Structure 1
Amino acid sequence: MAFDIYESPAFARLFRAYTGSARSVGIQLTLASEQAHAATPLIVATSSDLALYPGRGAPPTVEGFRLSTRGFKELTAVSHLGPALASLARIKELDPHGPWREGAAELLAATRETREANSPALWRDLIRIESFAGREEAIADMIDYSCVLTERVLERSLQDPAYLTAATVRRDFLEGPSPDLPVPLNRIMVATFFLFGMDLGHRLITWFDDLDLPWEDAMVIIAGRQGRPTAGVTRDSNSVAGVIHAAARGRLPERNLLIAPHAPVFPMYDGTNLDAVSALEPDYRRLWSGVRATCELGEQMFDGYPRFEPSRSARRRVGPGTVTVSEMPAVTGPTDWFALTSRLRLVLEDPRQLLSGAVTDFAAQQLVDHDNDPSKLFIPGLDGEPYPLSTATGVAGRNHSRGYDEGEAS
């Protein structure tokens, strides 16, 4: 079907004069803004790496922080045990004669293999995460317990299919109450997310502190897809943005951070492909400069009217009487289990959220509050929990933590 649309040549020329050609006024504004910020440090975060472009053609420096870092898959594998069992129960509910048995058998075999591979030596000598130093035995015990608990539920489900329901997964695995559940898996999911967030935050805060950036003028872009296709597109739902703000310690203006899900993304940095990272600097500088230049016209054109001031949402406190939340709830401290578990539900139900970002902002802020020293942090779900006999360490009922003072500042 053909459309007969008339376009006035005169109006088309007027359109191109501002925005529709390479020499338009709008493009010239972008180029002028880009030149004005040519020496300004530019930070670009992708889903796996963070690059600093110092400006004036100086080569970038890159810090890997997610898929390319130690322990990510190991921690994520344990984090997935809760959703995996809940998914099997849901598959069985939807199709009792469907493939849930095959999935359960594979999960059981993989869990057993993981338990055999897990040990303090694995975490201390092979994975070697600096921020976990001194906690390797505690982590090994927690993972051993997680595997034993998962195996128990899977074995019973395969023997008695009627057992596998959402209610029994909650009662005997995720939450309780159950006499055979000294530590609910919800707490372990929080612990693994916190450990990931603590390591991410510790490394990035250390990196940024060493750079000694002029945060008041820094340009920041969160580029490309972050997690699932709908996630991380706002400041409040983007865990990397939260870590950057924590590292800046309040000095980075909110307006200087842009989230650009459709921006180009450089390849994951492997230590050798710095040229590929450098090649995108002009595109990133033009993107940031063009967006900010247009935004800054507001002050030029509408002086005397209220200005837009971006801000991060205030965290709302939640308790047993809270029915709904629309944003991440506040966490009053590392033993605020209602808020911490509510965050687990939120990151599943809210498509804007990064699943691994349930407590990243909380972990990063705890690091800032404790001089970026991971050894000073109380890790919810790991520290102070009564983990039973561990085949990984051979120690029964060990409590690995200093106590947590409820009166401590969060």
Structure 2
Amino acid sequence: MAYQPDAAFAGLFRAFTSDPQSIGAHLTQQMAQQAEDAAMLVSTGSDIVLFPGAGRPPSIESFRKSTRGFIELTAVSHLPLALAYLARMREVAPHDDAWKSDAARLRQHAEATRDANSVALWREHVAVESFSGQERKIANLVDYTCGTTIEWLARAERNPELLSFECLNAEYFAAPPGAALAVPMNDVMFATFGLAFLDIVYRIGNWLRAQSLDWQRAMVLVSGRSGRPTAGATWASNNMCYLVWRASERVLQPERILVAPHAPSFSAAELPDAAGLAELERTYRSIWLNTRSSIDIARRLFPDQPAYRFDPTPADSMPPITSIDDRDATAARLRRIMEDPAQLLSNCVADYIVDQLHDNGNQPQNVAIPGFTNVSYPDMAKP
């Protein structure tokens, strides 16, 4: 017979916190009653919802795949990286030609994207406010990235050694000034990451400020998975924490932003009905308040012991960017976010873009993005 704990001991265990009628559950309920009119912000991997409190209906804003321009810019950002993956395929299995069919398919997608790209697409279809006035330069960036990569893949069909890391690093990703490439692809990757995140920070920041929140009482939860399964599980590695904190003008105490990677998530594309949203709100408030109860009790229970001071470091100490031309720092950030499983990929630009936008009075056209602002991409022929 399988072991079962003694019933009396099990009852004592459940009496504290692991039962709906436990002391811990009752304390959380009391705290929820006192904070029922306080705002609750919940961010997932692609959306952010505001539960205003007191039974008022929620408001939702998306910031990832469903937003204008995100897929377009991310697709272009991934295009150079795809060549590195092809090079690794050749390296792992040198006698397997599987990479050739993948390379041919990638080239076809790049050709179709280059044909679809235009200034009109960025100005009239994507039509993102934070890109206003930059549409031609973005179209030039896309045309240059696609054209350069298409040509490289065509040459690699005849000379597979072009898809070696030695060759790619020297002539494609980190080509030195004066090389055949007008702009090295490391610049392209950082620029596209930066542009995509600039729009996220601009829109979400404006949306948050429009809510007129009482940041002193606001409860914030970063819920569920963000990006790859191992990433964004801490305040420092989840850039939404830093974004919300800066949007509050640093009024919100960082300790009031909790990261709960195992909490339930949601998607704006597949929202539950009103009753389901109300249940989600109750769940999120319970998670936040239940966690907070331990903090409040510790401060009363051990008054003579040194207090824990929560002092998060944005982006977990990413290499600082000292100037718009600091290619060593931007490349180091790209390496860091790929090499550190705890990092969201967008962390290579997140803290920099958030700070730049705030320092420039929330004017996206004044934000200097390495790899974009400081370089000139060849002008494409079509409008």
TM-score grouping bracket, smaller chain normalisation: over 0.9
Match for 1:56 among 54, 57, 62? Answer: 54
Is the contact between residue 17 and residue 25 of structure 2 (CA under 8 Å) also seen in structure 1? yes
The answer on 1:353 being equivalent to 2:343 is: yes
Q: How does 1:153-232 map to 2 (within 5 A)?
A: 153-177=152-176, 179-232=179-232
Aligned CA-pair RMSD:
1.9
**Per-residue deviation at 1:269?**
4.2
Is the contact between residue 46 and residue 64 of structure 2 (CA under 8 Å) also seen in structure 1? yes
Match of 1:371 in 2: 361
**Per-residue deviation at 1:214?**
1.4
SS of match in other structure, 1:221: strand
Match of 1:8 in 2: 6
Match of 1:130 in 2: 129
**Per-residue deviation at 1:343?**
0.8
Match for 2:319 among 300, 311, 329? Answer: 329
Deviations 1:242-289 (A, max 9, x none): 211221121111110011111111232479966643441111111111
Residue identity in the other structure for 1:362? Y
The answer on 1:102 being equivalent to 2:92 is: no
Is the contact between residue 73 and residue 192 of structure 2 (CA under 8 Å) also seen in structure 1? yes
Distance 2:376 2:206 in 1: 32
Q: Say which structure is richer in helix.
A: 2
The answer on 1:257 being equivalent to 2:257 is: yes
Is the contact between residue 60 and residue 268 of structure 2 (CA under 8 Å) also seen in structure 1? no
**Per-residue deviation at 1:156?**
1.1
The answer on 1:71 being equivalent to 2:69 is: yes
Deviations 1:95-114 (A, max 9, x none): 13231000100111111111
Deviations 1:19-73 (A, max 9, x none): 2322211111111122121111000011111111110100011111111100111
Distance 2:314 2:62 in 1: 30
Aligned length: 381
Distance 1:155 1:17 in 2: 69
**Per-residue deviation at 1:158?**
0.6
* Change beyond 3 A, Cα 1:219–1:152: same
SS of match in other structure, 1:280: helix
Residue identity in the other structure for 2:268? M
SS of match in other structure, 1:80: helix
Residue identity in the other structure for 2:32? E
Q: Percent identity at matched positions?
A: 39
Is the contact between residue 242 and residue 314 of structure 2 (CA under 8 Å) also seen in structure 1? no
Is the contact between residue 328 and residue 343 of structure 1 (CA under 8 Å) also seen in structure 2? yes
The TM-score normalised by the length of structure 2 is 0.94
SS of match in other structure, 2:105: helix
Match of 1:320 in 2: none
Is the contact between residue 239 and residue 314 of structure 2 (CA under 8 Å) also seen in structure 1? no
Distance 1:193 1:109 in 2: 23
Q: Which runs of 5+ in 2 are unaligned?
A: none
Distance 2:314 2:86 in 1: 36
Is the contact between residue 70 and residue 129 of structure 1 (CA under 8 Å) also seen in structure 2? yes
Deviations 1:331-372 (A, max 9, x none): 234332211211111110111111133102211111111111
Is the contact between residue 324 and residue 374 of structure 2 (CA under 8 Å) also seen in structure 1? no
Distance 2:369 2:121 in 1: 20
Distance 2:277 2:379 in 1: 48
The answer on 1:236 being equivalent to 2:226 is: no
Distance 2:70 2:197 in 1: 10
Is the contact between residue 141 and residue 392 of structure 1 (CA under 8 Å) also seen in structure 2? no
Between stretches 274-283 and 80-89, larger displacement belongs to 274-283
The answer on 1:19 being equivalent to 2:14 is: no
Is the contact between residue 117 and residue 142 of structure 2 (CA under 8 Å) also seen in structure 1? yes
Is the contact between residue 325 and residue 374 of structure 2 (CA under 8 Å) also seen in structure 1? no
Residue identity in the other structure for 2:49? A
**Per-residue deviation at 1:390?**
2.1
Is the contact between residue 202 and residue 372 of structure 1 (CA under 8 Å) also seen in structure 2? yes
Match for 1:384 among 364, 374, 378? Answer: 374
Match of 1:91 in 2: 89
SS of match in other structure, 2:268: coil
Match of 2:142 in 1: 143
